[in-house]
Amino acid sequence: MIASNLLLIVGVLTTILFTVLSLVLVNRIEEVHRLQGALKKIKRSFDDLDEQAKLIVKTDLELNKAQDELDKRLKSLDALQKTSRLISTTLDENEIFRRLDQSLMIDLGFEKNLVLVHDEDKILHGRVNLGFSPEEIHFVLTNLEKNKSLKQAMEEGHTFSSVNSARHEREAIVRLFDVEHFVLTPILTQNGIIGILLVGNRSNAAAVTEGDEELVSVLANQIGQSLENARLFEQVYRSSQILESKIQDRTRQLASLLEEVKHISRTKSEFISAVSHELRTPLTSIKGYAAILITGKLGSIPDPVKERLEKINTHSDNLVKLINNLLDIARIESGRVEMKMEKCDIASMIESVRDLLTPQMREKNIQWQTEVDKNVPELVLDKHQIERVFINLVGNAIKFTPEKGTICIRVHRDTETATMEVSDSGIGIPKEDLNKLFDEFYRVDNEINQNVKGTGLGLSLVKKIVEAHKGKVWVTSELNKGTTFYFTLPLSP
Ligand code: ADP
C-alpha cells in the first residue's frame, strides 16, 4: 500500500515534472522561434546595410573616376590654352615647332605624340615627336603614304580615334603608330591639309575619351592656323624683300639714267650755247650790213631791194631774239645765270608789265583785271627774270585771246608760297597738248600759230626761270573758253 502510494506519488510528481518541463520546453521553443525571427530581421538589415555599403563604395569609386577624368580634362584644357598662346605669339614656323616640342608633348599627358607636316613639295616630315624612334617615324612616313583610304579621309578633314573609328581603320592606325589608344587628326588650313597630329598611349596606359578627341582636334586647328599665319608672314616678308631688292635695282638704274640724262642735258646746253654764240656774231654783221644798205649811204638802192633788205632786218631781229632765248635757257639750265635776288613788291611789277603791254591790249580791245591779295608780302626774286615771266605769259594771253576778251592777273598767299595766276578768255589749249607745252620749240597746231610767228621757247624759258626761283609752273585750259597759267614763288627764299 505504501509502495503503491509511493508509486502513485512518484507518478504524480513525474507527471507534474513532465508537464512543467513540457511547459518550459514549449516556452523555450517559442523563445527560440522568436529569437530566430529577430535574427532573420537582423540578418536582413545586415544585408541591406551591406548593399548600401557596396553602393556607397561603388558611387565613391565612380565619383573618384569622374574627378580623375575632370582633373585630366582640366589639365589638358590648361595645356591646350598654354600651347595655343605659345604658338600664336610667333610667326616663325621653326619656333612654333620648338614651342610645341617643349610644351604640348609634356603637358598633354600622352605617352606618344607626333606632328607630321608637309614641306613645299607636299612631302611629309616629322616636326614634333615624343616616344617615336627615328626608325618608327620612317616607318610611319613610308607606310602612311601607302594607306590611300586613311590619307584621303584625313584630306577630307576626318579625325580618327580609338573610341569611335571603324575596326579596320583602328587596326591600321594601331599598326602604323604602335599605339593602342589614340587620336589622329589632320592639321588643316584654308588651302587644305598641311599635316597630321597623333596623340596616343600604349596598351597598358589609359584609354582616350571623346573629350580627348575634341581637344586634339581643337589643338590641330590651332596648329594649322599658327602655321598658316607663319607661312603667310614668310611669303609677305619674302615678297617685300624681293620688292625691296627690285626697287633698289630700279633706283640704281634710274640714278645712273638720271646721271646720263644730266650729262646729255649739260652737253646739249653747252652745244646750244656754243652754236648760239657762233650764230650771233655773223648775224649781228648781217643785220649791220642790211641796216647800212637801207640807209643808202653806200649808194641809192631800188625799192624792191630795200623791201628785201627790210625783210632781212626783221628776220634777223627774230633770229637774234630766238638765239638770245636759247642762250638764256641753256645758261639758266646749267646754272650759269645767277639770279639777282632782291625784295620786290609784286603788285608794282604787275602794274609795270601792264603799262608795257597796254598798246597791244588796246589794239585788240582786251580788258585787264588785277586781283592781288593784301597779305602777300614783298617777295625775294630776280626782278628782271620774273618780269620776263609775266611778259611771256601775258604776251601769250594777248596773242591767243580774240578781240574784246579779258585777261586777269591774280596773286594769293598760301602757307609757304605766293601763287600767281595769268588767265585769259582765249582759244584755250587741247588736253593732249597740255603736258608738252613747256617743252622747247613746242607750239600747238592752231590757226593763230599758223599765221603768227613764234619760237616755241617762251614757256620753256618761263619754266626755267620759275624753277631757278624754287617755284613751280603749271597750266589749266578749256578749249574755246580760256587758259590759266599758274606759277609759285617761295615766301621766304
Ligand atoms: P610761242 O608763243 O612762241 O609759240 P611759247 O612757248 O610761249 O611759244 O608757247 C608755246 C605754245 O603754247 C604756243 O605756241 C601756244 O600754242 C600755246 N600757248 C601758250 N600760251 C597760251 C594761251 N594763253 N592760250 C592758248 N595757247 C597758248
Atom of ligand 1 nearest to the CA of 401: 24
Which stretches of the chain drop beneath a pLDDT of 50?
none
Report how far ligand 1's centroid is from the alpha carbon of 456 (Å): 7
- CATH match of 339-490 with 3.30.565.10: yes
Q: Within 6 Å (CB) of ligand 1, which residues are found? A: 392, 396-397, 400, 424, 426-427, 429, 437, 442-444, 449, 454-460, 483
CA 57 → CA 47, 50, 66, 254, 396, distances in Å? 15, 10, 14, 88, 112
Helix (H, G, I), strand (E, B) or coil at 65: helix
Atom of ligand 1 nearest to the CA of 485: 23
Residue nearest to atom 23 of ligand 1 (CA): 397
User: Are 272 and 326 contacting, i.e. CB atoms less than 8 angstroms apart?
Assistant: yes
Report the separation in Å between the CA atom of 384 and the middle of ligand 1, taken as the mean of its atom positions.
21
* Ligand 1 atom with minimal separation from the 482 CA: 24
Write down the domain spans for the chain. 87-238, 339-490
Atom number in ligand 1 closest to CA 426: 24
Q: How many Cα atoms sit within 13 Å of 86 on the Cβ side?
A: 19
Give me the phi and psi of 201, to 5 degrees please: -130, 155
Which of the listed residues 321, 328, 443, 479 should we mutate to test ligand 1's pocket, taking the one with most ligand atoms within 8 A of CB? 443
For 248, the grid coordinates are 633698289
For ligand 1, atom 18, name the residue with the nearest CA: 396
Beta carbons of 230 and 92 less than 8 angstroms apart: yes
Q: What does the pLDDT read at residue 1?
A: 67
pLDDT, position 265? 81
Residue 319 Cα, ligand 1 centroid: separation in angstroms? 18
Ligand 1 nearest-atom number relative to CA 428: 25
pLDDT for 105 equals 59
Which residue's alpha carbon is at the smallest distance from atom 21 of ligand 1? 396
Q: Which atom of ligand 1 is nearest to the CA of 424?
A: 23
Q: Which residues of 62-73 are buried (b: 16+ CB within 10 A; e: fewer)?
A: eeeeeeeeeeee
Distance 427 CA to ligand 1 centre (A): 11
Q: Specify the pLDDT at position 434.
A: 95
Per-residue pLDDT reduced to its tens digit, 275-297: 888 888 888 888 888 888 888 88
**CATH fold for the domain made of 87-238:** Beta-Lactamase (3.30.450)
Residue nearest to atom 1 of ligand 1 (CA): 456
Q: Whose CA is nearest to atom 19 of ligand 1?
A: 396
Q: How far does residue 463's CA lie from ligand 1's centre (Å)?
A: 13
Output the pTM of the full model.
0.54
pLDDT tens figures, 126-147: 998 888 999 999 999 999 888 8
Three cell numbers, residue 90:
610667333
Distance 392 CA to ligand 1 centre (A): 9
Out of 398, 459, 460, mutate this one to test ligand 1's pocket (max ligand atoms within 8 Å of CB): namely 459
Please report where in the chains the cell 607606310 appears, as a residue.
143
Characterize 247-271 residue by residue with b for buried, 16 or more Cβ atoms within 10 angstroms of its Cβ, and e for exposed.
Answer: eeeeeeeeeeeeeeeeeeeeeebee
- Angle of CA points 237, 242, 244, to nearest 5°: 90
Q: What is the pLDDT of residues 405-450, one digit of tens each?
A: 999 999 999 999 999 999 999 999 999 999 999 998 899 998 888 8
Nearest in space to 193 (alpha carbons), one of 233, 244, 159: 159
How many Å is the Cα radius of gyration of the chain? 56
